[in-house]
Amino acid sequence: MDLAVGQQPSNSLAYTNRVYVSHPDWEFLLSRVANPEASKIEDDALLITVNGLVFAVSPNKGIETGNIGLNSLQRRFGVFTLTQRVKVDIFESNAGLALTSVIVRVDLLAKGKVKSPLQLATEEMAGAFKAAFLSQVLQTQQPLAWDFRGTKLELIIESFQNLIPGGNCPNAGQLLQPTDVVFTKEKGAMVALSGANSGAPRDNIINPDFDFGKLGIGGLGNEFNQIFRRAFASRVFPGHIVKQLGINHVRGMLLWGPPGCGKTLIARTIGKILNAREPKIVNGPEVLDKYVGGSEERIRELFKDAEKEQQEMGDGSGLHVIIFDEIDAICKSRGSSRDSTGVSDSIVNQLLSKIDGVNSLNNILVIGMTNRKDMIDEAVLRPGRLEVHVEIGLPDEEGRLQIISIHTKSMREHKRIAPEAVEKLAELARATKNYSGAEIEGLVKSAASFAFQRNVNVKDLSQLKEEELIVEWADFQRALLEVPPRLGANSEELEVLFRNGIVPYGSSFDAIMMTLRRFVQQVRVSDRTPLLSVLLEGAPSTGKTAIAASLGVQSEFPFVRVVSADAMVGFSETAKCAAILKAFQDSSRSPLSVIVLDDLERLIDYSPIGPRFSNTVVQTLLVLLKKPPTSPDKRLLVIGTTSVAAHLEDLQLVQGFNVMLTVPQLTGPEEIKTVLREVVTSLSQKEMDDITSAISQPIGIKQLLMVTEMARQGEETVSTDRFLECLHICGF
CB within 8 Å of 306: residues ≥ 6 apart: 317, 320, 361, 363, 364
Secondary structure of 686-730 in HEC code, one letter for each residue = HHHHHHHHHCCCCECHHHHHHHHHHHHCCCCCCCHHHHHHHHHHC
Task: Please tell me what DSSP assigns to residue 301.
Answer: H
Report the candidate in 363, 325, 360, 311 with the shortest Cα–Cα distance to residue 205: 363
Q: What interhelical angle do 573-587 and 615-626 show, nearest 10?
A: 10
3-state secondary structure of 361: coil
Could you say which of 203, 626, 627, 721 is catalytic? 626
CA dihedral 189, 190, 194, 198 (to 10 degrees): -10
- Residues in CB range of 459: below 8 A, 6 or more apart: none
Tell me if 251 sits within 8 A of 384, measured CB to CB: yes
Q: Which of 578, 555, 570, 542 is CA-nearest to residue 666? A: 542
Please say whether the beta carbons of 159 and 140 come within 8 A.
yes
Between strands 659-662 and 592-597, the pairing is unpaired
**Phi-psi region for residue 543, left (φ > 0), alpha (ψ -120 to 50) or beta?**
left
Q: Which of 598, 641, 642, 708 is catalytic?
A: 598
Question: Any residues with CB less than 8 A from the CB of 242 and at least 6 apart, and which?
Answer: 234, 248, 249
Question: What residues contact 567, with CB distance under 8 A and at least 6 apart?
Answer: 579
Hey, how many other C-beta atoms are within 10 angstroms of the C-beta on 658?
15
598 catalytic? Reply is: yes
Instruction: Confirm whether 214 is a catalytic residue.
Output: no
Annotated catalytic residue, options 315, 325, 475, 599: 599
Tell me if residue 545 is catalytic: yes
Residues 6+ apart with CB under 8 A from 91: 39, 47, 48, 49, 54, 137
* Residue 554 · residue 452 · CB < 8 Å: no
Residues 6+ apart with CB under 8 A from 475: 421, 447, 448, 450, 451
The C-alpha atoms of residue 581 and residue 345 are separated, in whole angstroms, by 27
Q: What is the C-alpha to C-alpha distance for residues 120 and 198, in angstroms, rounded to an integer?
A: 10
In whole angstroms, what is the distance from residue 661 CA to residue 97 CA? 91
Q: Do residues 187 and 105 make contact, with C-beta atoms less than 8 angstroms apart?
A: no
CA distance 365 to 277: 12
String of DSSP letters for 448-496: HHHHHHHT--TT-TT---GGG--B-HHHHHHHHHHS--TTS--HHHHHG
Choosing from 152, 373, 424, 702, which is the catalytic residue?
Answer: 702
Identify whether 544 is a catalytic site residue: yes
Check if 626 is active-site.
yes
Residue of 545, 642, 708, 720 marked catalytic: 545
Which residues are known catalytic residues? 544-545, 598-599, 626, 702
